[in-house]
Chains A and B, each alone.
Chain A
Amino acid sequence: MSEDRREQKPFGGPGMGPGGRPGGGFGRGPMGGHGMGMPMEKAKNFKGTLKRLLGYLKSRRLRLLTVFIMAILSTVFSIVSPKIMGKATTKLFEGIMMKYRHVPGAKVDFDYIGQILVLLIGFYILSAIFSYLQQYIMAGVAQKTVYDIRNDVSKKLSRLPLKFFDSHVHGDILSRVTNDVDNISTTLQQSLTQLITSIVTIVGILIMMLTISPLMTLIALVTLPLSFLVTMVIAKRSQKYFADQQKNLGILNGHVEEMYTGHPIVKAFGREGEAIDKFNQINERLYAAGWKAQFVSGIIMPLISFISNVGYVFVSVIGGILVMKKRIEIGDVQAFIQYSRQFTWPIVQTANIANVIQSTVASAERVFELLDELEEIPDKEDAKLIGFPQGAVKFQNVNFGYKEDVTLIQDMNIDVKPGQTIAVVGPTGAGKTTLVNLLMRFYEINRGKITVDGVDIRDLKRGDLRTMFGMVLQDTWLFNGTIKDNIAYGRTGASEQDVIRAAKAAHADHFIRTLPEGYGTVLNEEASNISQGQKQLLTIARAILADPAILILDEATSNVDTRTELLIQKAMSTLMKGRTSFVIAHRLSTIRDADLILVMDHGSIIEMGNHNQLLARGGFYAELYNSQFTGGSLVLANFLDTSCIL
């Protein structure tokens, strides 16, 4: 049904985006912030999303407040220092000047300078301590907030209907939980305090400058809007090139992905040269856009530093003249130089922070979108419980379709008695999973009702309903863990004895014991350390252990060698004994012996009845039967059909 869509591309996996960030504190590197001028995704509802994101911080507002206070304190201490340092220089200069003019008894007042320096040491250390504390507390706040968001997503995923998973690419969901949440984490950890520090620094420096000399402040201020303007204008200009670069990178990645996944075809048809030509064309375009983007964004720093140098020159010259005219002191010039140097960086950061916040909110929005997806109808409060399930299943006037306007199943009525076998047949892709979806209530039916032992399945808790079912499907799902744990997955609290008994019944015990670690063998992520057939045996063992009243089985055993296939068949018949079974049937004997055959095509049930009834009808089933199976029986009766097709 939706198997194709679920395939994950090797791309788009977590943390693999171009320039993928490892997340956490270090991610953004020395330049602080996303590559300057990178195109940002914009949030659709900026205000609402931001508010909601802040909601996560609400419970930590006290600590957040402490962080803010710490940030302010640390910045204040570091801002006051140059001015105090300037006092020491002034004192020194005064002493020297007096000596220079041969004032009698002139000497440098080292006591005073010493006092100031001791005071400064105190200030610097205080500033460092506050700055550390601020980061320390923020680490907890940021990471725990992100922890909460991740857990919320995980909880949400467990409440979403199957429909959601079938209609969304896994890579996309994964990327929301990893990349987007990571982005939020980095912003919380770094940019938030950076923003506060930057603003406090700018304001603080302004005040300090003003107290030194309003005239010189004015000069320094000329450079301020200039730096700001340059950053904004260039960032904007470079966005175009970055967008161009991103586009070409996307095309290039697409081409690479296609050519690599289709490598045997490229080779078989001798098209390597063509592939390389096309690649080089795209590569050339990428280069053209790429160097422009890099250059334009790269000149922000030189320009800012030029502007800052110009400011420096003016400060030195005018400061020098003012000192001469005794309007200010030499130490103030020194302080001023330090201030104007410190000024540039917070401005660049603030100019950039708008982008950071925008991308963070966009990320948050994607996460919240996930959190806002429509959930399953909750289980009923007064849900019924079937104590000893018998396995009677009834469909009454069931209507169902995946899309509103396309009805796949219309007025379906079946009545399955406990222990009966229902065979589901039809060509590949006929939509046999639909049945599983309805029985297990992965999807809601549109009309009618399905009952188990007379109880509407909507009156049961989903968990209880699903516990009554056992499922052995072709796409075996095993997780990264030991074989024992994988089998024990079928029943919470199963003992080792239970596991071994189930494995024996599933004819899996033998192969498990031949593995070096036996039941303790750890299956790797793709479970590629055991064969496909062995995986199926394990899933059967899991179902046996779960001991369900009703079974859903897929008989298909493609990719399995003949001997294992026999084992699987044996294990399946053991499993089916005494249970109501819905079998996606591939074996003629199963179909023939079934109490009811459901013939499916293109997602809907087109015929229903037992073998003889259906054959007599001469419809789809009869045709299917003849084409799939008769050929074989004829030959087996030593009747060789000489008109060979292929």
Chain B
Amino acid sequence: MLKLFKYLKPFSQSVALVLVLVFFQSLADLYLPTLMSDIVDTGIVKGDTSYILRVGAFMLLVAAVSGLCLISASFLSAKVATGLGRNLRSLVFARVESYSQHEFDKLGTASLITRTTNDITQVQQVLIIMMRMMVGAPMMSIGGIIMAVSKDATLSLIFVVVLPVLAVVIFGIAGKGIPLFKAMQVKLDTLNRVLREGLTGIRVIRAFNRIDHEKERFTESNRDLTNTAIKVNIIMASLMPVMMVVMNLTTIAIVWFGGIRVNNGDIQVGDMMAFLQYAMQIMFSLVMVSFMFIMIPRAEASAMRINEVLDMIPEIKDAEEIKNPDSQRGFVEFKDVTFSYPGAEQPALKDVSFTASPGEVTALIGGTGSGKSTLINLIPRFYDIDSGSIFVDGVDVRKMSQANLRAKIGFVPQKAVLFTGTIAENIRYGKEDATDKEVEHVARIAQAIEFITSMTDGFNSVIAQGGANISGGQKQRLAIARALVRRPEIYVFDDTFSALDFKTDAQLRAALKKETADATVIIVAQRVSTVMNANRVIVMDDGRIVGMGTHRELLTTCEVYREIVSSQFSEEELA
């Protein structure tokens, strides 16, 4: 949390002003009882009405000053806290955008989203509460103690007894309660998990007739949670009453000992009454401070997660000296590439070498985890490799600028991702200044024109978040159109055709063939029928290339390829 405070720097003037304002407000609030004691000790005792009125008017002024200070402080703290929130969000988002896939994998997409949104909101909220209430609390208690001591130092000795007692009570109860709160959170998570499992597995549960079993499981964790929740609440329930007892006993002590001192002529009655009010203000401030200890740990977890994002420097940066390829277009070469995911024991790719040239189709095939998708993710430099080199157009990808490299590539991912906006906007994502004609042309090639024109608004039809309002196959076709509109040197298709039915698949591939004739095409495929006609089939197994050649060559030379083929075509087909 403290670490995030360095981002308060641009607001340092406002923060200082808030502190000053809160200081004056605390002073004003403390001054009121003093004035009141003057009314009692001077006004009432001497029977001076005009004095009472004068002091009264002055008190109103003090109250007004206090109110004004508080409102200005509130204005500034609202601006500071939301401003900090805004700046942090901006920083975090920009940082995340600069992340490579590697950092993304490390923190996880869902977690990054929470960090950018909820965690920052949480910090912002706590900052507001802190500035609004908690900054004043220590000032109030210190000021209160000073005032009390100045009124009567001897009577102030009561605080020496009371304040530690109060602190022990608060920390004792909170110390017992907070671990239970954490336990409760864990149990709540468990309950949620049971429920979520019950929802995702509903078919299986019903198919195996295990409804009662699941109900029992839920009731069990529900009971567990309830018991802990009751325990927590019972412990926390004691906090307020105990605190009240301590405070009230303090007032009694003040009246008793104060009375004795008044009797001895050490202080006046009005002083004692003011003292009582100081005592109240000090103790309430202490309660506020104790809340701070409860609020801060909650924000602390959020702050830590935010810091983690800000501290993580993206691994992939443009080289200092950027080298641009000369005249070559569309050449991809892997040279002894070895790559492992962070923390993995085994490399995901081992000694991979191949070349792909314009006009050629290179297909990758192999089981899950064989490294196909990993391989193609290396071409746009989503990850940096451990050893070896990858050349695009004869230049090592690490020496090119990322923007330049990626401008050469039309990438179609396995899972089509579209963005909120119209269909045309989504296609233009590939090339901002594409003309309507270009957009229509690529939509036609991607076999998307039919469904686009059948929609009420055609190319202006709006796609909902995550493309929820169109089918998987339609999304895939738009993703293809988006890549086509760039007219890139290199096409990368990651198992792109699996969401399409066979007819569309065939038409699409026929249309694509013409469009991509001059480009380098690299595809990942599951079906043998997709790869059969490629110029080069690369068979992957366990991160290695175990076979490379045409379909026919591989049938005779590559055992793994034969296995894949035989698993897709039955025994009799092979015979």
* A477 contacts partner chain B, Cβ-Cβ < 8 Å: yes
Cβ–Cβ contact B241 & A131, under 8 A: yes
Q: B453 within 8 Å of A by Cβ?
A: no
**A80-B244 Cα distance, complex, nearest whole Å:** 15
Docked pose: A636 CA to B565 CA in angstroms: 9
**In whole angstroms, what is the CA distance A624 to B503 when docked?**
9
Q: Are B382 and A303 in contact (CB under 8 A)?
A: no
Asked if A298 contacts B113 (CB within 8 A), the reply is no
Within 8 Å of chain B (Cβ to Cβ): is A295? yes
Min CB distance, A483 to chain B, in Å?
16
Chain B residues within 8 Å of chain A by Cβ, number: 190
DSSP majority for the A interface?
helix
Residues of chain B within 8 A (CB-CB) of A151 are 218-219, 222
Please indicate the chain A residues that have their CB under 8 angstroms from the CB of B528 in the complex. Answer: 632
A618 cross-chain contacts in B, Cβ below 8 A: none
B534 to chain A, nearest CB (A): 7
Q: B253 — nearest CB in chain A belongs to which residue?
A: A117
B153 interfacial by beta-carbon distance below 8 Å: no
Instruction: Establish whether residues A268 and B406, one from each chain, have CB atoms under 8 Å apart when the complex forms.
Output: yes
Within A601-646, which residues are at the interface with B (CB < 8 Å)?
A: 623-624, 627-629, 631-633, 635-636, 638, 640-641, 643-646
Determine whether the beta carbon of B90 is less than 8 Å from that of A279. Answer: yes
Q: Would you list which residues of chain B between 167 and 186 have a CB under 8 Å from chain A? A: 177, 181, 184-185
* B-chain residues with CB within 8 Å of residue A305 when the two chains form the complex: 66-67, 70
In the complex, whether B211 has a CB less than 8 A from a CB of chain A is: yes
Inter-subunit contact A636/B417 (CB<8 Å): no
B152 to chain A, nearest CB (A): 15
Give the number of residue pairs across the A-B interface with Cβ within 8 Å.
507
| Range, interface on chain A | 35 or more
A427–B503 Cα distance when bound, in Å, is: 10
- Contacting pair B269 A93 (CB below 8 A): yes
Closest to B43 in A: A320
> Could you give, for residues 203-222 of chain B, a 1 whenever the CB lies within 8 Å of some chain A CB and a 0 otherwise?
11011111101110011001
Considering only residues 8-30 of chain B, those with a C-beta below 8 Å from chain A are 29
Q: Identify which of residues 56-114 in chain B touch chain A, using a CB-to-CB cut-off of 8 Å.
A: 56, 59-60, 63-64, 66-67, 70-71, 74-75, 77-79, 81-83, 85-86, 89-90, 93-94, 96-101, 104, 109-110, 112-114
Let me know if B74 and A295 touch, CB within 8 A: yes
Given contact pairs A113-B255, A320-B52, A10 touches B109 in the complex (Cβ within 8 A): yes
From B60, B101, B213, contact of A492 by CB (8 A): B213
A530 on interface, CB distance cutoff 8 Å: no
Q: Which of A470-489 contact B (CB under 8 A)?
A: 470-471, 473, 477, 479-480, 489
Q: Contacts A287-B86, A323-B44; is A165 near B199 (CB within 8 Å)?
A: yes
Find chain B residues with CB under 8 A from A254 CB: 420, 465
Asked if A258 and B513 make an inter-chain contact with CB atoms under 8 angstroms apart, the answer reads: no
**CB pair B230 A143 closer than 8 Å:** yes
A317's closest neighbor in chain B, by CB?
A: B56
A313 and B59 form a contact (CB under 8 A) = yes
A155 to B113, CA, bound (A): 34
Which residue on A lies nearest to B369, using beta carbons? A561
Whether A477 lies near B573 (C-beta < 8 A) is: no
User: Is the Cβ of A317 less than 8 Å from the Cβ of B39?
Assistant: yes
Q: Which of A492, A533, A569, A629 contacts B573 (CB 8 A)?
A: A629
Determine if A217 is an interface residue (Cβ-Cβ < 8 Å). Answer: no
Q: Within the assembled complex, what's the spacing in Å between the Cα atoms of A643 and B509?
A: 12
Write out the residue numbers on chain B whose beta carbons fall within 8 Å of the beta carbon of A258: 419-420, 465-466
* Selected A-B contacts with CB under 8 Å, 11 pairs: A5-B468, A14-B192, A25-B232, A29-B295, A132-B237, A140-B230, A269-B430, A286-B89, A313-B59, A316-B36, A644-B535
Known: A263-B109, A589-B572. 14 other contacts (CB 8 A): A25-B236, A107-B263, A124-B248, A128-B241, A128-B242, A154-B222, A162-B206, A264-B411, A269-B430, A271-B429, A317-B53, A466-B207, A632-B565, A636-B574
